[in-house]
Amino acid sequence: MDVNIAVLIDGDNIPSAYVKEMMQEIAKYGNPTIKRIYGDWTNPRLGKWKNVLLENAITPIQQYGYTTGKNATDSAMIIDAMDILYSGKVNGFCIVSSDSDFTRLATRLREAGMQVIGMGEKKTPNPFIVACDRFIYIEILRAQSEEISDANKSKSAPDSSVDKITPKDIRLIASTIDDVADDDGWAFLGDVGSLLQKRHPNFDSRNYGFQKLTPLMGAISNFELERREDSRGRNKLIYVKVKEKNGSKTKKK
């Protein structure tokens, strides 16, 4: 079944420079049948958005700032989201904002069985991040696009590094592997990735400079990968294990 997604963008809170990468990313998760952006379009600050709305078929929703210090845009987005929810026309939502005011909205939509994808800058407060099924940093999308462009020009692969991976990240991954591993310590990498995403919606291999989870895991010396054929011998299944040290599995702290 096709997943229809309502994309609601907080124009007051998100730079227009990221729109191309955002829409390309959203298309990976479903069909963006509703695309709206909210803001006070009489404000010159939103002028740059006007140039990209037609190119991406995004409908601008006018919302005047009636009271100084109050964000009327947030209220308009929340009201529209609930109207769309009860219309039954979509299976999921993408809320594009770095504002924690949408935390309760994301929670409510998930309670209704909706898939909720969040997008925002790295300054986004954690409560909104964990309220989503998946949260994607828009800076990572821009960096990814620039790396691919540079790689195409130089005909080489984008640079990846394990320097960004912290001991805390390694403990998190190791713990997740243990939770889904068999008696021999091996875990199907797809299951590991799914559980990591559920526990930490902003976990993304691209945050560390890797396009996929497999090369990220292969770059971390604490883990070992094994490729196995499926029952039909047609596909390679990737399994991961925490490497043993001194005859025992790496202990989590």
Give dist(CA 253, CA 239) in Å, integer.
Answer: 23
Give dist(CA 5, CA 14) in Å, integer.
Answer: 19
- Is residue 132, in this structure, part of any structural domain at all? yes
DSSP for 144-169, please give it. Answer: HHHHHHHHHHHTSPPP--STT--HHH
User: What does DSSP say about strands 134-137 and 115-120: parallel, antiparallel, or unpaired?
Assistant: parallel
How far separated are the first and last CA of the chain, in Å rounded? Answer: 42
* Last residue in a domain, options 144, 179, 208: 144
Q: What is the pTM of this model?
A: 0.79
- Is residue 244, in this structure, part of any structural domain at all? yes
Query: CB–CB of 238/215 below 8 Å?
Result: no
- CATH code, 97: 3.40.50.1010
Do 183 and 79 belong to one domain?
no
Do 136 and 175 belong to one domain?
no
- Is residue 27, in this structure, part of any structural domain at all? yes
**Residue 28 lies in domain:** 4-144
Which DSSP state fits 118?
E
Do 177 and 113 belong to one domain?
no
Do 25 and 140 belong to one domain?
yes
Domain count for the chain: 2
- Is residue 156, in this structure, part of any structural domain at all? no
Q: Per-residue pLDDT tens, the chain, 253 aa: give them.
A: 578 999 999 988 888 888 989 999 999 999 999 999 998 888 888 888 888 898 899 999 988 765 544 466 788 899 999 999 999 999 999 999 999 999 999 999 999 999 999 999 999 999 999 999 999 999 988 776 555 444 444 444 445 566 778 888 899 999 999 999 999 999 999 999 999 988 888 898 888 888 889 999 999 989 999 998 877 766 789 999 998 865 444 444 4
Cβ-Cβ contacts under 8 Å for 180 (sequence gap 6 or more): 187, 188, 191, 192, 195
Do 133 and 12 belong to one domain?
yes
Tokens standing for residue 57? 């078929």
Do 13 and 134 belong to one domain?
yes
- CATH code, 207: 3.30.420.610
Do 134 and 202 belong to one domain?
no
